[in-house]
Amino acid sequence: MSEHLDSFAMAQQQLATVATKINLDPNVHEVLKHPKRELTVNFPVSMRDGSIKMFTGYRVHHNLARGPAKGGIRYHPDTDISEVRALAFWMTIKCAVVNLPFGGAKGGVACDPKQLNAAELEDLTRRYTTEIAILLGPDKDIPAPDMGTNGQTMAWIMDTYSMLKGTTVPAVVTGKPIAVGGSEGRIEATGRGVVTVARETLLSRGGQLPDSTVAVQGFGNVGAAAAKLFYRTGCKIQALSDVQGAIYNKNGMDILAVEDWVKKTGTVIGFPEAEALDPAALLLLPVDLLIPAALQNQITEANAAQVKARYVIEGANGPTTPIADLILASNGTIVVPDVLANAGGVTVSYFEWVQGLQSFFWSESEVNAKLEQIMVRAFGQVNAAAKKHNCDLRTAAYIVGVGRVAEAITALGIFP
């Protein structure tokens, strides 16, 4: 097993592992190894200094056997086709794990959104939307926010697509602002799902969340929402990080105060009730719950043996490499995989899509109750599969997810 894998090779390795475990039909395995379709676009954007800059964007559909394509759009300098393929594959599995009627998709533009002003971001988004519009539609492909994008980005995509169609189409994207058809509870849905799954994991092993110690890598949308919900549950948040660095307080931090500090300064760095911490050291703290909620490939062969957390709850996509998984398991660390732990976001995106199609909207309490029900059910099914097959939770999640996708592929058959 190689540690030096690109994202899609890592996803392929995860698929191969579970295929062996469940004796997956080789023909189905062959289908799942390949994305259904890929679109790469190169497009110009007029910059505010008068220059024209070319950008490269992607949209990948992995598998549509269970329904239309669902997956986020990210803006990041390192975005490439391999990463987008992997993320689309993980979305296929994730949607199946929580039993949503979607297939997996992902998109992205190779850019640094922090280097673009608001007008340039809008122009980039609208031009990218026109380039991939042939794939989009409420019954075809429904994007959502991801790293470097947000509700405003989705509003621009919705408006651009609606202009092309000549009518307002709210259900073409999810993660939109409430004012244009977004769902209550969507912003913190991924973080809420992380906390729900963490709670269920502890309960299934005789523990409980209150008084648990927590370290959160990444204080973005997912990490910040999770940290706040852990804090409200009575957990002790000992460490936090963002792109500028990390902070630590052994006695725990007031997350509401941290949020206020970030609103004023734009970073967790310098928060007066904590000390500076090497970001790499955050992953190695002796906490009950480690929440990697930043980029992929954070826990690797190089540092996995030093991870002291009892549980790793993956808020990010692909933060743990296959070799690191083996090392963590041998040291007794329980990993709750991304395809289960961070599925709260796509679950509430599903709710938003349904609400948009029906033009009938739910209250935040209804959304949160339905999210709770789905996440608890999904954890129970994955945990049961882990016991049945005597395997770790990642393998169990793939057994559940791949099994459902394989069943759909087999039922549909091959046309012509």
Are 196 and 305 in the same domain? yes
Label residue 413 exposed, middle or buried (CB < 10 Å: 0-12, 13-18, 19+).
exposed
pTM exceeds 0.85: yes
Are 21 and 154 in the same domain? yes
Helix (H, G, I), strand (E, B) or coil at 154: helix
Would you give the distance in Å from CA 150 to the centre of its chain?
13
CATH number, domain with residue 310: 3.40.50.720
Digit-by-digit pLDDT tens for the chain (416 residues) are 555 568 898 889 889 989 999 999 999 999 999 999 999 999 999 999 999 999 999 999 999 999 999 999 999 999 999 999 999 999 999 999 999 999 999 999 999 999 999 999 999 999 999 999 999 999 999 999 998 999 999 999 999 999 999 999 999 999 999 999 999 999 999 999 999 999 999 999 999 999 999 999 999 989 999 999 999 999 999 999 999 999 999 999 999 999 999 999 999 999 999 999 999 999 999 999 999 999 888 999 999 999 999 999 999 988 999 899 999 999 999 999 999 999 999 999 999 999 999 999 999 999 999 999 999 999 999 999 999 999 999 999 999 999 999 999 999 999 98
CATH number, domain with residue 88: 3.40.50.10860
Last residue of a domain, one of 336, 357, 380: 336
Last residue of a domain, one of 143, 172, 201: 172
Q: Which residues contact 177 (CB under 8 A, 6 or more apart)?
A: 151, 152, 154, 155
Return the sign of the alpha-carbon dihedral for residues 175, 351, 79, 259.
Answer: positive
- Asked if residue 368 belongs to a domain, the reply is no
- Asked if residue 34 belongs to a domain, the reply is yes
Are 292 and 246 in the same domain? yes
* CB distance 142 to 353 below 8 Å: yes
Are 106 and 250 in the same domain? no
Name the catalytic one among 70, 94, 106, 228: 106
Is residue 264 annotated as part of the catalytic site, yes or no? no
Q: State how far the alpha carbon of 159 is from the alpha carbons of 125, 154, 178, 272, in Å.
A: 11, 9, 14, 42
- Asked if residue 344 belongs to a domain, the reply is no
Are 166 and 205 in the same domain? no
**C-alpha to C-alpha distance for 228 and 342, rounded to whole angstroms:** 16
- Asked if residue 163 belongs to a domain, the reply is yes
Q: Are strands 236-242 and 245-248 parallel, antiparallel or unpaired?
A: antiparallel
What does the block give as tokens for 195?
């906390």
**What H or E segment, with its residue span, contains residue 236?**
strand 236-242
Are 199 and 168 in the same domain? no
Would you give the distance in Å from CA 99 to the centre of its chain?
16
Domain extent at residue 38? 7-172
Are 153 and 203 in the same domain? no
Are 152 and 229 in the same domain? no
